[in-house]
Amino acid sequence: MTEKPPVSIFGLGYVGLTFAATLASRGFKVVGYDIDEGKLELIKRGKSPFYEPGLEELLAKAVSDGNLTVTRDPGEAVAGTDATFITVGTPEGLDGRADLTQLHSALKDLGKGLANKRSWHLVVIRSTVPPGTSRSAAKLLEEMTGKRCGVDFGLCMNPEFLREGNAVEDNLNPDRVVIGECDKRSGDFLEGFYKAFLGERLPPILRTSLENAELIKYANNAFLAMKISFINMIANLCERIPYADVEEVARGIGLDKRIGPYFLKAGLGWGGSCFPKDLKALLRVGEDVGVDLPLVRATVEVNERQPYKAVEFAERALGDLRGKRVAVLGLAFKPNTDDMRGAVSIKIVNKLVEKGAVVVVYDPKAMPNAKRIFGDKVEYAESALDAIRGADCAIFVTEWDEFKSLKLGEVAKLMKNPIIIDGRRIFDPRTIPPTVKYYAIGLGWR
Ligand code: UGA
């Protein structure tokens, strides 16, 4: 293997594109392939089709340096590179199972290139796929190409653990690299690749079976989501106990090294393009092999109820919501992204509208996506203060930094009723001005 082998990446969503851009920034030659021509045109000009901090700068440089090129021809992408990473989406299917349509079409595209290739080539599945999928993918490629996996080509399952909004950094500083391998040569190649990519920042590398790698990804996401649902359950308890505060409880348990401080931030629930679909898919995997997964089920159930806490607070403060003007601040599923997939804001806004409230929304980045989702059901504000002006109540749904610097005393003066619902524990309860009626997740009545 050359020190920095040229690689191709099939699927230029946030996983594939951030991976491509960070690899190119480390001097790798990367060929990107996607079926979406509009996306390829943007990338060719060094522009990102979505918002991800730090990505556009890397992209512009990668494209102008010539380290990142894109193509509409998968055969060309395979021919000119030593390994292909598949980073297509595996969204939720109709029955909750992972929908593998994009994976299958990427494999078909790849297979055509592989069939014509004389030299050994490594296929790396980086998409989140149910256990058994990677082994089936190897069989499919064997049938398509007449070649043998483990002899003429290699295959690895290499899950990613990137967080949206932090994907560039997570690519460059992973906690670990998990390599599921169909044979030793494939694993050796991928390990060497990561050594060349990450250099001194190389984390522990776990070499394992394809199925273990697939399961590690699902178990990882399920465990993280379970931590959040656990603390949200405790938050709901805290609210009924005078002088209790979930933030303090989380701090207290997070100091136990066996628990750790991360993913213990109580709020209106988890969303996004990964946790919701991955937990459902995991439940289906359990069903398919006849194993009940009660903790995963409870994790999902707690989360399905949690967003409606915002509406309950609003009703507790205002009574009937019909005709009441409610500002919803923060629509993205978390800060630093414009992504609204699986965002809890959707459930909250829809419920408020259903109850007859006049809803005005604002998000620093997600307004174009919000307009596609809510259409003319809601009003769109230009800024947080614009949304809050004249409102009967303001609900903070996403913890954007710009909300943290709002002075609640000033905010209260703009509102018709100074009612603030803090769905993400943005504000310090000790500093709330007496003019504000403040409701917060996990804060006991006092
Ligand atoms: C998640 C995982 O964190 C990544 O490791 C994984 O690679 C990714 O899914 C994936 O499978 O591709 P992501 O969906 O980008 O990443 O977002 P997270 O930062 O994990 O947040 C998920 C949701 O949990 C957000 O709605 C966030 O607001 C919520 N959350 C997170 C909490 O409510 N409390 C917390 O303490 C942490």
Write the pLDDT tens digit of every residue in 22-74: 999 999 999 999 999 999 999 999 999 988 999 999 999 999 999 999 999 99
Residue 401 Cα to ligand 1 middle (Å)? 17
Domain count, the chain: 2
Look-up of token digits 């009967």? 392
The pTM of the whole model exceeds 0.85: yes
- Please report which confidence band the pLDDT of residue 446 belongs to, taking 50, 70 and 90 as the band edges: low
Q: Are residues 128 and 57 in the same domain?
A: yes
Distance between Cα 418 and ligand 1 center (Å): 31
In a shared domain, residues 197 and 249: no
In a domain, residue 179? The reply is: yes
Query: Does the C-beta of 334 come closer than 6 Å to ligand 1?
Result: yes
The answer, yes or no, to whether residue 389 has pLDDT greater than 80, is: yes
Give a yes or no: residue 256 inside a domain: yes
- pLDDT of residue 445 exceeding 90: no
Same domain, 89 and 149: yes
Look at residue 208 in the predicted model and tell me its pLDDT: 98
- Using the predicted structure, report yes or no on whether residue 161 has a pLDDT greater than 70: yes
Identify residue 136 by its one-letter amino acid code: S
Are 148 and 278 contained in the same domain? Answer: no
Q: Please state, in angstroms and rounded to a whole number, the distance separating the CA atoms of residues 224 and 282.
A: 14
Ligand 1 pocket mutation pick from 55, 90, 224 by most atoms within 8 angstroms of CB: 224
Residue 217: predicted pLDDT? 98
d(CA 402, CA 443): 23
Asked whether residue 214 is domain-assigned, the answer is: no
Atom of ligand 1 nearest to the CA of 333: 26
- 261 in the same domain as 196: no
Catalytic annotation, residues: 274
Domain extent for 79: 7-208
Closest CA to ligand 1's atom 25: 270
Is the Cα torsion angle 193, 194, 200, 202 positive or negative in sign? Answer: negative
Going from the Cα of 344 to the center of ligand 1, the distance in angstroms, rounded, reads 13
Cβ 174 under 6 angstroms from ligand 1:
no
DSSP 8-state code for residue 245: B
* Closest CA relative to residue 53, chosen from 401, 420, 306, 441: 401
304 in the same domain as 190: no
Question: Would 58 be classed as within a structural domain?
Answer: yes
Regarding the beta carbon of 357 and ligand 1, being less than 6 Å apart is answered no
Residue 243 has pLDDT above 90, yes or no: yes
User: Which CATH number does the domain housing residue 91 bear?
Assistant: 3.40.50.720
Q: Which of 162, 231, 253 to mutate to test the pocket of ligand 1 (most atoms within 8 A of CB)?
A: 162
108/150 same-domain check: yes
Examine residue 130 and state whether it is found in any structural domain, yes or no: yes
Per the prediction, the chain carries an average pLDDT of 96
**Residue 219 covered by a domain:** no
265 CA to middle of ligand 1, Å?
11
pLDDT band at 1 (very low <50, low <70, confident <90, very high): low
- Identity at 109, one-letter amino acid code: D
Q: In what order do the strands lie in the sheet with 7-10?
A: 68-71, 30-33, 7-10, 83-86, 121-125, 153-157, 177-181, 205-208
C-alpha distance across the termini of the chain, in Å = 65
In a shared domain, residues 119 and 24 = yes
| Residue 267 CB less than 6 A away from ligand 1 | yes
Measured by CA distance, the residue closest to atom 28 of ligand 1 is 334
Q: Specify if 228 maps to a domain.
A: no
Per-residue pLDDT at 72: 94
Tell me, yes or no, whether 226 lies in a domain. Answer: no
248 with 185, same domain: the answer is no
Residue 199 and residue 238 in one domain:
no
